[in-house]
Structure 1
Amino acid sequence: MLVSTDNSGATDKSAIWSRTISETYFPLSVQCHDPQAFNGSLRSWGLGILGLSEMHCDAVMYRRHKSHFAEEKDSSLLITIPQAGDVLFEQSSRETRCAPGSFLVEQGDMPYEFSHARRNKLWVLKVPTASVQSRLGPTERLSALTFDATSGVGSFFVGAVRNTIDSIEVINDAARELAGQHLLDLLCLSMRSDDRILDSSVSTIRAAHLQRAEQFIRDNLANPKLTPMLVAESCGISRRYLQGLFAENDCSVAGYIRDKRLTRCHETLTMGHDSSTMAQIAHKWGFYDHAQFCKHYRSRFGCTPTATRKKARTEAEHRPD
C-alpha cells in the first residue's frame, strides 16, 4: 500500500497523515508544524504476523495516550530504524535519541512521545508483543531502548530489513510470510545479544535462576524432550526449587512451557499461506495429543486452531496486492 499527502487537495494534510499512521500502526495523535504544507509518503506491506513500512515525512510529533489503547486486546511493539536523521522518544520515564545506525523499541500498550525535528526516512516494523515475549520474555524492559545496528546481529537484522524492502515487490505472499518470521527471529536475536536485556530485571539470585530457566525454555520449545526435569538439570538447580520459582509467579513449569508453545503454534496458524498440516504444526512445538492441543488452544485464544487457520486464509485471499 502506498499513501502520499503530496497530491492531496486537502487543506489539512496532517489529518490525512494522522489517519494513515493510525490505520498502519495503531491510533496516535499527530502534531505538525505546518498542517497545510505537511508532506509525507508511506509504503506498507504485510509479512504474515509482522507489518513492515517505509515512510518519508516532514518534522512531526506523535503521541500515544492511554485512551488510544484502553480497549485494545492485542498489543504490539514498533521497531523504528531511522535512515536520514535522529528521532527522539520518551516512554516510561525514559528519554532516548535514536540515530541512523541503530534501532528503537516502542511499546504500544504504554503512553509515549515520538518526534523528529526535520524531514526523515524511517523503516518501521510492527511486531506482536506476544511473539517477542515467547522468545525474550517480558517486554517492559525493552521500552525506549536503542540497539546498535552497525555490527554483529543488529547489522544483520537491519540488512535483512533493507533486503526485504528491496525485494518485496517480486516475492509472493508465502515468501513474505517467511520473510516476516525471519525478521522476527533476527530482531529478537539481536536484542538478546545486548547485556541490558538479560540483566536489567535481575535483582536477586532467585530472579536470576528464574530468568535463566525461562530463557532455556523459550530456546528449546521445539525439543520433544523438554520437561521440568530437563530445565532444572540444564540450569543446575533441583526440580523442586525450579517449581517453587514458577509457583511464586502463579504458574507451573509445565504451564509455562505449554503457553509458549501455544504462542508459536498460533503464529504459524495465522500465516495464511503456510502449507503445514495442523498435526505438523502441533508436533513441531511439542503437542502430540491433538485433542489436548485443541483444548488448550481454545482455552488460550478463545477459538479452535481450525478457526484461526480458516480466518487467516480468508483474509489472505481477500488482501489487496
Structure 2
Amino acid sequence: MHLCHHTTLLPVPERQDYWREVIGSTYFDMDLRFTERQGFYGQLWNWDVAPFGISFLSSSPTQYQRLRQHINPHGDNHFLITIPERQEVHFSQERRSVRCRPGSFILERSDKPYEFEYQNDNSLWVLRVPDSLLRARLRLPERHLFSEFDRSQGLGAVFFDFFRSITHQVAYLDDRQTEPLLRQLIELFALAVEGDQRAIASEDSGLCQVHQQRVEQYIREHIRDSNLNPEQVAAACGISTRYLHKLFQGEEFSVSQWIREIRLQGAVADIRRSGTGRTLADIAYKWGFSDQAHFCRSFKSRFGITPKEARQPGG
C-alpha cells in the first residue's frame, strides 16, 4: 500500500499536529518538537509491504522522542535503518549516540526510549524491519546500533544500490513480489554490518565473539537438518553444550528458540512467495520440520495464522 502525506495545503497552525499524526501512523508513537514554529513543512511517502515498511520523508528541522510511555512491552518491536540524504541526523539512546551523515546509514531500535533529530531541513529514507525478523538473521543487532556505516563502497554500497532499485520499482510490484526482495535486502544489510572492521575489531570480538560467529554460521549452514540441536552445534564448534547456552544468555532467543525462529522465518518467506511450486509439506521439510503437525502448531503460535492461511492472498 502506497500513501503520500504533505502539509502544503494545510493552514500553518495545523501542520505540526498533522505531522505528529503522520509520524505516529507510519512508524509508532513519539513526541515531536519543532525548531521552526512558523512555516513548518513536511511530506512523507510510505510503502507498507507487510511485515516491512519503506518511507521517504522531507521536513523542516524536527526532534523525535520515543518515550517510555510510548512503548508497549507486549507489542511488536521494530528496528529502523535510516539513510539521510541532505543533512546529518543524530540518534541517542541509553547515554550513547551516533551522528549519521549523508552517504551513510545507521540502525536504531524502537523498544527503548530514544531521541532522533536533524537541525536543518532534511530528507531521509527509513526501512522499518520487525525485531524478530532482523534477529533471525543478525542475532545481536545491538552490537551495531551506534555505528555509522558507509554506503558509498563495499557491501554498504551493494546494500544501498539494491535498496534504491527496490524503491524505484516498488510502485510497480505487488506485495508478494516485493516481500522476498526486502528479505534479500536484510541479508545484504546483515552482511554489510557484519563485515564492518569496527565490529570485527571491537572489544566484544574476543574469544567469545569468535565462538558466537562460528555457532551462528554452523546453524545457518545446517538449518535444514531436522536433527539439528544444541548438542550437535556445540560438538561441531568445539565447545561444551553448557558454554553454548552461556553464549545465548541474556538474549531474546535461546539456542533452540533461535533455530526455530530461523526455520519459521524461512518457511513463511517461502509460503508467501508466489510461484514457488512447493507444497506446504515440502516447505516444512526444507526448513527442518520433520513433523507436519508440529510445523503447523509452531507456525500458528508464531504468526497467529496457519501455513495454509498464510498462503492465501493477504495472508
Band the TM-score falls in, shorter-chain normalisation: 0.7 to 0.9
Task: Select 1:130's aligned residue among 129, 132, 152.
Answer: 132
Q: Deviations over 1:62-108 (max 9, x none)?
A: 01111111345211001000111111111122121100111011101
CA distance in 1, matches of 2:22, 2:48: 15
Which structure 2 residues correspond to residues 231-242 of structure 1 after superposition, within 5 A? 231-232=233-234, 234-235=236-237, 237-238=238-239, 241-242=240-241
Q: What amino acid sits opposite 2:149 in the alignment?
A: F
* % identical aligned pairs: 33
Give the alignment partner of residue 150 of structure 1, picking from 127, 149, 152: 152
Contact (CA 8 Å) 1:173, 1:273: kept in 2 or not?
Answer: no
The Cα of 1:252 is off from its aligned counterpart by 6.8
How far apart in 1 are the matches of 2:165 and 2:208? 42
Cα distance, 1:304 vs structure 2: 3.6
TM-score, normalization: structure 1?
0.84
* Counterpart-to-counterpart distance in 2, 1:210 and 1:155: 26
Mean CA deviation greater in 139-148 or 56-65:
139-148
Question: Quick one: distance in 1 between partners of 2:170 and 2:265?
Answer: 27
Q: Deviations over 1:116-141 (max 9, x none)?
A: 11111101100011111111112222
Equivalent in 274, 280, 283 of residue 281 of structure 1: 283
| TM-score, length of structure 2 as denominator length | 0.85
- When residues 273 and 10 of structure 1 are mapped into structure 2, their CA distance, relative to the original with a 3 A threshold, is farther
Aligned residue for 1:51?
53
* Alignment RMSD (CA, Å): 2.9
Q: 1:104 aligns with which of 103, 106, 111?
A: 106
Q: 1:209, CA displacement in angstroms? A: 2.3
Q: Secondary structure at the match of 1:12?
A: helix
Secondary structure of 1:287's partner? coil
Residue of structure 2 in register with 1:9 after alignment: 11
Shift of 1:249: 4.8
* Distance in 2 between residues matched to 1:83 and 1:262, nearest whole Å: 35
Aligned pairs, number: 309
Distance, in Å, in 1 between the alignment partners of 2:112 and 2:314 is: 32
User: Whole-Å Cα distance in 1 between the matches of residues 124 and 29 of structure 2?
Assistant: 18
CA distance in 1, matches of 2:270, 2:9: 39
Pair 48,228 (structure 1): closer, same or farther in 2 beyond 3 Å: same
CA distance in 1, matches of 2:176, 2:97: 39
**How many angstroms apart in 1 are the aligned matches of 2:168 and 2:52?**
17
Query: Which position in structure 2 is the counterpart of 1:213?
Result: 215
Task: Specify the SS of the correspondent of 1:97.
Answer: strand
Q: Secondary structure at the match of 2:159?
A: helix
Q: Which runs of 5+ in 1 are unaligned?
A: 316-321
Give yes or no for contact 2:248–2:255 (8 Å, CA) kept in 1.
no
1:245 corresponds in structure 2 to 244
Report SS of the residue matched to 2:290. Answer: coil
CA separation in 2, counterparts of 1:105 and 1:19?
23
Q: Structure 1 pair 74/286, CA: closer, same or farther in 2 (3 Å)?
A: same
Q: Does residue 61 of the first structure (1) align with residue 63 of the second (2)?
A: yes
Task: For residues 292-313 of structure 1, give each alpha carbon's deviation from its aligned partner in whole angstroms, at most 9, with x where no partner exists.
Answer: 2123334445554345555xx3
Q: Is the 8 A contact 2:212 2:247 kept in 1?
A: no
Q: What SS class does the counterpart of residue 11 from structure 1 fall into? A: helix
SS at match of 2:86: coil
Aligned equivalent of 1:192: 194
